[in-house]
Amino acid sequence: MSLFLLNDIVVFIFIEVILLLLLFISEFSVLKVLKYWDFSATTTFQYALEKRNYLVNTIIYFTVSVKIVLFIFFVKSLDELSLLVPGAMCATGVIGANSYGNILLLFKIFMLFLLSIWIIINKLDLESKVFPYIKEKYYLFSFIFVLTCIEFCLELFYFMNIPLSVPVFCCSTVFKLDNLPFELNTSGLLIIYYLLFVVILISSYYKKSIISFFANILFLFTSYYAVTYFFGTYIYELPNHKCPFCMLQKEYFYVGYFIWFSLFLGVFFGISPYIIESITLKKYTYLHKYCILFTTIFVALSTYFVVSYYLKNGVLL
């Protein structure tokens, strides 16, 4: 019995292969453009290259939209795999079933970040008539292409190595110890969490990209620990249930999707202005307001569970 016979996995790999093929076709165009691009030339070849630009754009737009859908599908499939993998109660067990799982998940999130940044740079590039960032964006594309190939290999290795007979560890074991980094305790973590939130709000409001960039990266890690070790327990209403994935399940009204997506969107809009500015060397502050919006949603949502628990029961966990 191999997991490769599972409907979801078959479909998933099939679509990933199609995307890889499309990216491969555009990488071919990209290499040509990178090599021969000369905007001042008036040859037919240069015009042909400019037209190829459209193909790459179309393919990337398509890839990003499909990747977002596939990412949700991937997480959902992991949740369902937990029925098949012995010992797994939720996606934690399935992701942790071998050493590729966690890397793959991080990789996927990172890829979505990169692709979205590419789209923004592409938009800036097309808005100006002289294609000012074409080299930068195509180097970035080639980098994305290489990463996609690595991601695909990781996927294959990951699915090939999920054990179906040996029980795996699940959230009750993986997150049992309070192994917060730098020997923080919960209150310290929460102070950092809310402090960072305030820093992000202020830096985004005054459009200070570099502060927002570092604050958001720190916030991403702090939030991961805060949600897993503190806010999660209020969502589950159990002091010992510490898991970032169980909240994605039906029992908790899929609230996990809202929590994690608002965090990722907020962090994305928080860090991308700085990255775009360092590539285009121009100020780009348009996205800060979305950062404020999504980060606020995230913090409000996570705080809501603690407050409502306290109001209902009169005590904290």
Partner 1 sequence: MINKNFVDFSILLLLKDKKEYLFSFFIFTFIVFLASSILFISDSIKHDLFIALDKQHQIIVKNTKSGRYTPLSEEHIDSILQISGVDNVKGKVDGYYYFAQDRRYFHIVVDESLDEHSMIISSEIKSILAKFKYTTQFNFLTQDGITSLDIKKVIKSNIISNDVILVNEDIARKILNMDEDEYSYLDVLVPNNSEIDFISLKIVDLYPDIKVKTKNDLKSDYEYVFYYKGGIFMILYIVSMISFFILLKNQISSVFGEKKREIAIFRSIGFAIKDIIFLKFIQNSVVALCSYFLGVFLAYIFVFIFGAPLLKNIFLGHDASHIIFTPIVDVKTLFVMFIFTVIPFLASILLPAWKIAVEDMSEVIK
Q: How far apart are CB 83 and partner 1 at their closest, in Å?
A: 6
CB distance 108 to 75 below 8 Å: no
- Residue placing its CB nearer to partner 1 in the complex, 41 or 69: 69
Q: How far apart are CB 54 and partner 1 at their closest, in Å?
A: 5
Angstrom distance (rounded) from CA 132 to CA 147:
25
Tokens representing 19 are 């995307």
CB distance 138 to 128 below 8 Å: no
- Residue placing its CB nearer to partner 1 in the complex, 126 or 149: 126
- Which residue in 265, 311, 309, 284 sits closest to 121, CA to CA? 284
Angstrom distance (rounded) from CA 62 to CA 70:
12
- Which residue in 133, 132, 139, 148 sits closest to 31, CA to CA? 139
- Residue placing its CB nearer to partner 1 in the complex, 1 or 311: 1
Per CB under 8 A, residues contacting partner 1 are: 1, 4-11, 14-15, 18-19, 22, 25, 51, 54-55, 57-59, 62, 66, 69-70, 73, 76, 80, 83-84, 86
**Angle, CA of 308, 261 and 209, to the nearest 5°:** 105
- Residue placing its CB nearer to partner 1 in the complex, 58 or 179: 58
Sign of the CA dihedral running 279, 281, 286, 289: positive
Q: How far apart are CB 178 and partner 1 at their closest, in Å?
A: 23
Q: How far apart are CB 22 and partner 1 at their closest, in Å?
A: 6
- Residue placing its CB nearer to partner 1 in the complex, 123 or 289: 123
Q: How far apart are CB 5 and partner 1 at their closest, in Å?
A: 3
Q: How far apart are CB 192 and partner 1 at their closest, in Å?
A: 36
Angstrom distance (rounded) from CA 227 to CA 260:
9
- Residue placing its CB nearer to partner 1 in the complex, 76 or 241: 76
